[in-house]
């Protein structure tokens, strides 16, 4: 879930200075509309890793808007009065009334995450608390609240750098506490627990927005724009049903995302290719026949833009497998029967038993890709799909499946080259249709949908593997390598 927040988002000072006054004015306007309408309250949850700029952002919000109508609450350890009442009492007291903005800094997420990291609560207890949070937020939304959930993230290196920077300067050294360094030592654990919390509580009606925190300019404008967009959308339709109230995912303000920052220059020579391919196929073949595989299953997902090379990559994998071991399920338009069932039904029916594998050539991600871009389903439907998909994969994993997901990424230029090549070669012409050209025109929309998909569905139990695929040999070897690694870790 943190992929997009570790690619080094950055914004120039110049661009910031140009954009900030506009954003500020728009936010203030929205705040006054909100106040005047007094139709719904706005709850902003600010969470994330230490040093990622949570405090700075909250200060900025108060600077940009009229602070008299913003209530900022920082929740630390609980007071006596709080300890003597149910856990949620202090948060109920902090809820803003209609027309106002409440910023909850360290919210109902802080304690469950901390307890889990410190291992004073079991996984089941943690999940139970997260489920209650899900219900709590659902209730707030049903009661009319607009909830904007901001998560500020730093990669491990970035956090280290940031803490060191702050410590080095006299003016800021006080801000870095022993606690911060203690937490840093448990970074991996901490981020793993947070990722799980985000996955379990990012719902259609109250999704998380992860913001990379290292660059002041990028972070501030991104947070401000997210808030502005959520406010404006809701103000237009203050009585909207819960399904369309959520802030939509935004494209990154510096235009960088997991796709356009992938390294497309990687290449393999023919020689290296065939040597590595042989070796990896041998390893894969052994792993699929591993004793432990009898108690596990393997679910592979291949997605990618048209002509990214899904088919040929899949063939390199299946060649290493016994035909009795796997099935390939190509996903195209649903059948009548499939259309008559809930969305995920058509994928559930292909879930493999232990000792078997299924390769999905396109998959359940269609809902948040093609169905989103082509508007085949309503906004509320694809927004809730992220949570439902995560839940589905969680169930696969607890049922013993190893889930391996691959996004084969190519650059727009490379796609064009391949389209033209296909059009020229007679036996490849069938592979290029008018639809491919139509889809290509929507590249920016698809790219945005892919970035959101990876942000919202790349989880500890089922991470996305983004494979730069401009060079086919490199892509095939890299995919095989990642698959072999995934199996080795799991078995």
Residue ranges that bind a copy of itself, judged by CB under 8 A: 38, 41, 81, 84-89, 92-93, 95, 97-99, 122, 124-125, 127-128, 131-132, 134-136, 139-140, 142-145, 241, 243, 297, 337, 340-345, 348-349, 351-355, 381, 384, 387-388, 391, 395-396, 398-401
Per the document, the length of the chain is 491
Closer to a copy of itself at the Cβ: 310 or 384? 384
User: What is the C-alpha separation between 66 and 33, in angstroms, rounded?
Assistant: 12
- Shortest distance, position 309 Cβ to a copy of itself, whole Å: 31
Query: Distances from the Cα of 468 to the Cαs of 266, 314, 317, 337, 429, in angstroms?
Result: 8, 15, 17, 36, 25
Q: 359 pairs with which residues across the strands?
A: 300, 328
Strand partners, 358: 299, 327
Report how far apart the first and last C-alpha atoms of the chain are (Å, whole number): 24
Q: In the complex, what is the shortest distance from the CB of residue 349 to a copy of itself, in angstroms, rounded to a whole number?
A: 7
Q: For a copy of itself, which is the closer residue by CB, 89 or 419?
A: 89
CB of 223 to a copy of itself, least distance (A): 25
Residue with smaller CB distance to a copy of itself, 125 or 485: 125
Reported as type and span, the H/E element at residue 179 is helix 178-185
| Closest CB 97 distance from a copy of itself, rounded Å | 4
Cα–Cα distance for residue pair 377/389, rounded to 1 Å = 16
In the complex with a copy of itself, the residue whose CB is nearer, 375 or 427, is 375
Nearer to a copy of itself, 118 or 139 (CB): 139
Among 5, 72, 56, residue whose Cα is nearest residue 220: 56
Cα 83 to Cα 5, 87, 88, 105, 304: the distances in Å are 35, 7, 10, 19, 51
Nearest residue (CB) to a copy of itself, 18 versus 294 = 294
Q: Closest separation between CB of residue 392 and a copy of itself, Å?
A: 9
Q: Measured from the CB of residue 339, what is the shortest distance to a copy of itself in angstroms?
A: 8
Matching residue, tokens 């937020």 = 137
Q: How far is the CB of 361 from a copy of itself (least distance, A)?
A: 21
| Cβ-Cβ contacts under 8 Å for 101 (sequence gap 6 or more) | 31, 34, 41, 42, 44, 61, 65, 69, 70, 71
Which lies closer to a copy of itself via its Cβ, residue 241 or residue 311?
Answer: 241
| CB of 398 or CB of 434, closer to a copy of itself | 398
Q: Which is nearer to a copy of itself, 186 or 349 (CB)?
A: 349
Q: Which is nearer to a copy of itself, 348 or 437 (CB)?
A: 348
Q: How far is the CB of 342 from a copy of itself (least distance, A)?
A: 4
Q: Give the nearest distance from C-beta 243 to a copy of itself in angstroms.
A: 8
300 - beta bridge partners?
A: 359, 404
Question: Shortest gap between Cβ of 403 and a copy of itself (angstroms)?
Answer: 11
Strand, helix or coil for residue 402: strand
Instruction: Report the distance separating Cα 406 and Cα 403, nearest Å.
Output: 10
Nearer to a copy of itself, 296 or 476 (CB): 296
By C-beta, is 18 or 354 nearer to a copy of itself?
354
Rounded to 5 degrees, φ, ψ at 65 are -110, -175
How far apart (Å, rounded) are the C-alpha atoms in residues 267 and 269?
Answer: 7
Nearest approach, Cβ of residue 77 and a copy of itself (Å): 17
CB of 354 to a copy of itself, least distance (A): 4
């Amino acid at each position: 879930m943190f992929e997009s927040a570790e690619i080094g988002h950055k914004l120039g000072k110049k661009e910031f200075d140009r954009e900030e006054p506009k954003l500020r004015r728009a936010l203030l306007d929205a705040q006054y509309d909100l106040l005047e309408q007094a139709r719904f309250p706005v709850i902003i949850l600010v969470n994330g890793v230490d040093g990622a700029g949570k405090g700075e952002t909250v200060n900025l919000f108060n600077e940009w808007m009229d602070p008299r109508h913003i209530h900022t609450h920082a929740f630390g350890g609980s007071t006596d009065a709080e300890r003597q009442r149910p856990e949620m009492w202090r948060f109920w007291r902090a809820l803003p009334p209609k027309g106002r903005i409440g910023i909850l800094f360290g919210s109902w997420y802080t304690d469950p995450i901390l307890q889990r990291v410190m291992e004073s609560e079991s996984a089941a207890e943690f999940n139970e608390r997260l489920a209650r949070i899900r219900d709590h937020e659902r209730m707030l939304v049903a009661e009319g609240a607009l909830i904007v959930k901001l998560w500020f993230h730093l990669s491990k290196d970035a956090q280290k750098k940031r803490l060191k920077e702050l410590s080095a300067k006299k003016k800021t050294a006080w801000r870095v506490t022993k606690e911060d360094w203690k937490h840093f030592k448990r970074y991996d654990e901490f981020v793993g627990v947070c990722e799980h919390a985000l996955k379990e509580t990012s719902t259609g009606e109250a999704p998380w927005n992860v913001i990379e925190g290292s660059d002041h300019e990028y972070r501030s404008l991104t947070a401000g724009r997210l808030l502005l967009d959520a406010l404006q959308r809701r103000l237009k339709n203050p009585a909207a049903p819960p399904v369309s109230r959520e802030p939509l995912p935004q494209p990154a303000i510096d235009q960088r995302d997991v796709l356009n920052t992938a390294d497309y220059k990687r290449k393999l020579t023919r020689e290296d290719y065939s040597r590595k391919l042989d070796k990896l196929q041998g390893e894969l073949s052994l792993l699929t026949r591993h004793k432990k595989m009898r108690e596990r299953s393997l679910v592979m997902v291949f997605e990618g833009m048209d002509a990214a090379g899904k088919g040929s990559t899949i063939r390199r994998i299946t060649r290493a497998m016994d035909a009795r071991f796997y099935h390939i399920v190509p996903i195209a338009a649903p059948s009548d029967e499939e259309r008559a069932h809930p969305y995920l039904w058509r994928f559930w029916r292909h879930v493999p038993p232990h000792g078997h594998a299924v390769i999905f050539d396109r998959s359940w991600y269609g809902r948040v890709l093609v169905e989103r871009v082509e508007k085949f389903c309503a906004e509320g439907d694809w927004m809730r799909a992220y949570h439902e998909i995560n839940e589905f994969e969680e169930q696969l994993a607890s049922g013993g499946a190893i889930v391996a997901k691959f996004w084969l990424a190519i650059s727009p230029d490379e796609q064009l080259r391949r389209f033209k090549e296909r059009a020229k070669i007679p036996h490849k012409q069938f592979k290029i249709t008018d639809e491919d050209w139509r889809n290509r025109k929507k590249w920016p929309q698809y790219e945005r949908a892919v970035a959101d998909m990876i942000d919202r569905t790349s989880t500890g139990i089922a991470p996305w593997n983004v494979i730069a695929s401009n060079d086919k040999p490199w892509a095939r070897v890299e995919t095989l390598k990642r698959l072999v690694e995934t199996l080795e870790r799991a078995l």
